[in-house]
Amino acid sequence: MTEKGEPLFVESPNVTIRIGSAPAEIQSMFVLTRPYPVPEETIKCESTIVGLKSTGELNLEFWADTPSEKFELLASMKTKQFDAGEIAKYSAEITPNDEGLYEIHAYLYDGNKRVDHKTDTIFVKK
């Protein structure tokens, strides 16, 4: 916990350490596509969120880290209010323009506090 009693998050490529309790978490984040989609093919991204305790509305954002080194916002949305154990799915779409590696991010926020972050990676080629 920080000096103000707020949860502290430490993130590394393989492990996320949470100190304190979060109201919800991203249970899964997937890019739903066939292997090696082609440029200009619309691709759906889906995150499943599970409530860990009763919450108000949360904010979910989908971002794409593109081969051209741009970090693009795909969608920003309010979630439902969750009860403990309640699950909901949210999705966004991306239409890649370039060939290469795309890392898709889902960020979950409670107000301005980041609650969770998950990624999935796809390789786009002709």
Q: Each residue of 116-125: pLDDT tens digit? A: 999 999 999 9
What sign does the dihedral 47-24-113-117 (CA atoms) show?
A: negative
User: What does the pLDDT average to over 27-46?
Assistant: 93
Domains, the chain, ordered by start: 22-124 (2.60.40.10)
Q: What percent of the chain has pLDDT over 90?
A: 77
Confirm if 101 and 121 have CB atoms less than 8 A apart: yes
Q: Each residue of 38-52: pLDDT tens digit? A: 999 999 999 999 999
For residue 83 the two structure tokens come to 């009860």
pTM: 0.83
